[in-house]
Amino acid sequence: MTERITKDMARNIYFGGGLFAILVFVGLTFDTVKQIPKLSHASKITKSVALGKKVWENNDCVGCHTLMGEGAYYAPELGNAFKRLGGGDEAAFKAYLAGWMAAQPLHVKNRRKMPQFHLTPTQVNNLADFLIWTSRVNNQDWPPNIQG
């Protein structure tokens, strides 16, 4: 074998490496798709959760907040809001969220202002159910700390 790499050797390395990378990518994709049902607990999506997602989308909450790391970084992460603000108690979290949404916008110096969306109690309850459902998704310990 010579010390120089030939064109044939380079072509074989290129195509062999490319094929290997594609096979690894396909394998990881199939593994991820297979795991999604047990990680997401999609079977627990209720009508209220779906309506809460609609409230989330219609009011562009993701324009300021992140949810499981996705969205804008202007306002706090809400993927763990149920655990962080409600302590795992659904009634306490729903009461907290209703009071928080009704009090907006807060006039606190040097604090970003969240707009008043004028949500109905049903919409706030649905949004709370959506955030509770989101907090129960197995997101593999994201965010890395409780404050998001």
Average pLDDT over residues 128-134: 96
Asked if the model's pLDDT at residue 29 lies above 90, the reply is yes
Amino acid in position 12: N
Contacts of 34 (CB under 8 A, 6+ apart): none
Q: Which helix (H) or strand (E) holds 70?
A: strand 70-71
| Backbone φ and ψ of 66, nearest 5° | -105, 155
pTM, two decimal places: 0.78
- Residue 119's pLDDT band (cuts 50, 70, 90): very high
91, 74 in Cβ contact below 8 A? no
The pLDDT tens digits for 46-80 are: 999 999 999 999 999 999 999 988 999 888 899 99
Amino acid in position 66: T
Q: What is the model's pLDDT at position 28?
A: 97
